[in-house]
A = this chain, B = another copy of it.
Amino acid sequence: MTRSANGKIDRVVWAAVRESRPLTLCLTNFVTVTDCANAVLAVGGSPVMSLDVDDARELAAVSASAVLNIGTVCPDQLAAMLGAGRAARAAGRPVVLDPVGAGATRVRMDACMRILDEVGPSIVRGNASEILALEAHSARRGVSRQRGVDADGSEARSEIENAARSLSERFGCVVAVSGETDVLAHGQMLSALTGGSELLTRVTGTGCMLSAVVACCAGALPDKLFSAAVAAMNAMKLAGAGAESKLGVPGSVGEFRYRLCDELAEIVSS
């Protein structure tokens, strides 16, 4: 277990993002899509969104990476995700899966399983409830039920690490779990990130933004996916802490929300 504080590697990631300005294809839910676009812009990427299977497939072929976020998935969007996801992987581009509410409904779990099986994402980024649900389901150990799309908050750290490691081995991908402590696993590698802000859980979209930023970083450094994911997760923790510390009115979620992208922009350019 290493604690990540490797500023040097993070700087390599952000330099690569600045240099290549990765075109990041976001097939994402309609609740937080604006925030995802602004987060990718803030860190220096170029976001592009699509709802159409042919359009998404074309875009995947020219994008640096893609994020598939199932927060409001429906059959047409799943088709676009599978088509674009396969096109991206065929072109050697990283794909990030955000399994929003995977444990809440059969529809969501089925969508995740099809993406895991048919696309083979490079990175899975979710909260603890989602990762535990995915792990339990794919291990055929029954479904760990989730209430809505938010994390339960009661999961033990060791339980999260074991699930992340197991899921990473089963699907050969980086698994990145955000929470009070972030946990990242890839094969034998395991990292934990502390810090951040409790306010990140009090506005919608910070998890989705994080997945989009992870995809942006992965697009810039497709051969260093673990480092890319760590840098992105670390930046969001730092941005959350930075935004909270600068609030004129302590606890203001409205102010926090508009400061978050500014903090991201500052962190990645310094």
Which residues does A use to contact B, with CB under 8 Å? Answer: 23, 29-35, 37-38, 41-42, 46-52, 54-55, 58-59, 62-63, 71-77, 101, 104-108, 147-150, 202-205, 249, 251-255, 257-262, 265
Contacts and interface: CB of A to CB of B under 8 A. Distances in A.
Nearest to A61: B105
A251 B204 CA distance: 24
A253 B249 contact: no
Contact of A34 (B31, B41, B253): B31
B257 A253 contact: no
Contacts of A258: 254-255, 257-258
> Chain copies in the assembly?
3
A37 B204 contact: yes
B46 A73 contact: no
Residue with the highest number of chain B CB atoms closer than 10 Å, among A52, A59, A106, A108: A52
A52 B262 contact: no
Given A105-B58, A147-B62, A34 B249 contact: no
Contacts of A261: 253-254
A253 B263 CA distance: 10
A269 B63 CA distance: 42
B23 A50 contact: no
A72 B50 contact: yes
B49 A29 contact: yes
Given A37-B31, A262-B253, A150 B71 contact: no
Given A31-B33, A49-B31, A55 B105 contact: yes
Nearest to A50: B72
Nearest to A23: B148
5 contacts: A30-B30, A51-B73, A51-B77, A54-B105, A54-B107
Contact of A148 (B46, B74, B104, B249): B46
B149 A48 contact: yes
Which 6 A-B residue pairs are closest in the complex by CB-CB distance? A254-B258, A37-B204, A55-B107, A58-B105, A52-B74, A48-B148
Nearest to A59: B105
